[in-house]
Amino acid sequence: DGGITQSPKYLFRKEGQNVTLSCEQNLNHDAMYWYRQDPGQGLRLIYYSQIVNDFQKGDIAEGYSVSREKKESFPLTVTSAQKNPTAFYLCASSIGGASNTGELFFGEGSRLTVL
Amino acid sequence: DAKTTQPNSMESNEEEPVHLPCNHSTISGTDYIHWYRQLPSQGPEYVIHGLTSNVNNRMASLAIAEDRKSSTLILHRATLRDAAVYYCILRDHSGTASKLTFGTGTRLQVTL
């Protein structure tokens, strides 16, 4: 089945450790996105990528890094520089380009807790 | 980026219609209006989108004001499974860099 897979679903980390969240899609979408959601809040854009080997900062990129070496993969690294990393992280993708409908497809999310 | 404004919460009785409003007074000519909904601990789910004309699909209807500065998502018969947070966002289809910003949305409660 086509879709977006995020892993792990739950992750615990000690302070000072980097952690990488995986996001894989088999929808052949060009554009991919990472969002952060805190309890009772909306989604805030961390990074997005419109095409392989290119990505742009979103509204809250500090303390995060990404790579886009393959079309189907857009991993997010939460670095030790992120002061408050405990949150629900959501990955999304869309077809991209001028002719697309713009519909975003989301993964099920990864919940990161820093101990 | 153009922003949207939605009420924080709304309530509805089951099997009654629900009208969820959204204001987007700074919408540009290339912005599509998208609606998503999110159940607890899940990723958002696409509901519907439109540009100028009203739109219908199996999930909902979207009514867009003539000046495009507001829109309304219509659930024709609310069920308990429709209880979720509904987000109204603007999506630029011009082909340039497209960021999508989700506000806090409207939390819909559905009661028996």
Beta bridge partners of A43: A37
Name the DSSP letter for residue A70.
B
The pLDDT value given to residue B99: 66
Beta bridge partners of B64: B71
Place of tokens 């089945």: A1
User: In this model, does residue B96 exceed pLDDT 60?
Assistant: no
Q: Which of B38, B89, B100 to mutate to test the interface with A (most CBs of A within 10 A)?
A: B100
User: In this model, does residue B94 exceed pLDDT 80?
Assistant: no
Q: Is A40 left (phi over 0), alpha (psi -120 to 50) or beta?
A: left
Chain B partners within 8 Å of A107 (Cβ) = 43
The answer to whether residues A107 and A35 touch, using CB atoms and an 8 Å cutoff, is no
Place of tokens 């959501």: A90
Q: Which of B111, B109, B46 is nearest to B83 (CA)?
A: B109
Q: If DSSP states are collapsed to H, E and C, what string results for chain B?
A: CCCCECCCEEEEECCCCEEEEEECCCCCCCEEEEEEEECCCCCCEEEEEECCCCEECCCCEEEECCCCCEEEEEECCCCHHHCEEEEEEEEECCCCCCCCCCCCCEEEEEEC
Mean pLDDT, rounded, for B50-74: 95
CA-based nearest distance A84→chain B, Å: 19
- Closest CB from B34, B43, B94 relative to A106: B43
pLDDT category of residue A106 using cuts at 50, 70 and 90: very high
The answer to whether residues A11 and A114 touch, using CB atoms and an 8 Å cutoff, is no
Going across the sheet that includes A4-7, the strands are A4-7, A19-25, A76-78, A64-66
The pLDDT value given to residue B98: 59
Please list, in sequence order, all residues whose beta carbon lies within 8 angstroms of the beta carbon of residue A101, skipping any fewer than 6 positions away. Answer: A95, B49
Three-state secondary structure call for residue A40:
coil
The pLDDT tens digits of the residues spanning A57-99 come to 998 999 999 999 999 999 999 998 888 999 999 999 988 655 5
The pLDDT value given to residue A100: 57
- Closest CB from B41, B42, B104 relative to A42: B104
Three-state secondary structure call for residue A77:
strand
pLDDT category of residue B60 using cuts at 50, 70 and 90: very high
With a pLDDT cut of 90, the percent of chain B lying above it is: 74
The pLDDT tens digits of the residues spanning B21-54 come to 999 999 988 888 999 999 988 999 999 999 999 9
Q: Which of A64, A58, A67, A66 is nearest to A83 (CA)?
A: A64
